[in-house]
Amino acid sequence: MLKKNIVKIILDVSMAITFVLLMNPRVFNGLLFHEVAGIVIGVAVLVHIGLNYQWVVHTVKKIFDRSLSGKTRFSFLLNVLLLLSMTGIIVTGILISKVVFPHLLSGENHALREIHDVFAKLTLLLVGVHIALHWQWIMGVFRKMLKTKEGNWNKKAIVTSVLILALFIGSMQWLATNVKPNEAFKPKFEQKVAQASETFPPPEKFREGEFPYKERHGNSHPLFVILGHFTFWAVVIVPVYYIEKRMRHKRQKVSHTIGTPFCS
The pLDDT assigned to 182 comes to 54
How high is the pLDDT of residue 59? 93
pLDDT of residue 53: 92
pTM over 0.95, yes/no: no
Q: Phi first, then psi: what are they for 145, rounded to 5°?
A: -70, -35
Q: What pLDDT does 255 receive?
A: 66
**Which pLDDT belongs to residue 260?**
52
Q: Mean pLDDT per 10-residue run, the chain (264 residues)?
A: 85 95 87 91 93 92 87 93 95 90 75 94 96 92 85 88 93 83 49 49 44 57 93 95 87 67 46
Check residue 109 and give its pLDDT: 76
What CA–CA distance (Å, rounded) separates 23 from 122? Answer: 11
33 burial type by CB count under 10 A (0-12 exposed, 13-18 middle, 19+ buried): buried
Q: Hey, which residues does 153 pair with through a beta bridge?
A: 147
Residue 74: the pLDDT is 93
| pLDDT computed for residue 233 by the predictor | 96
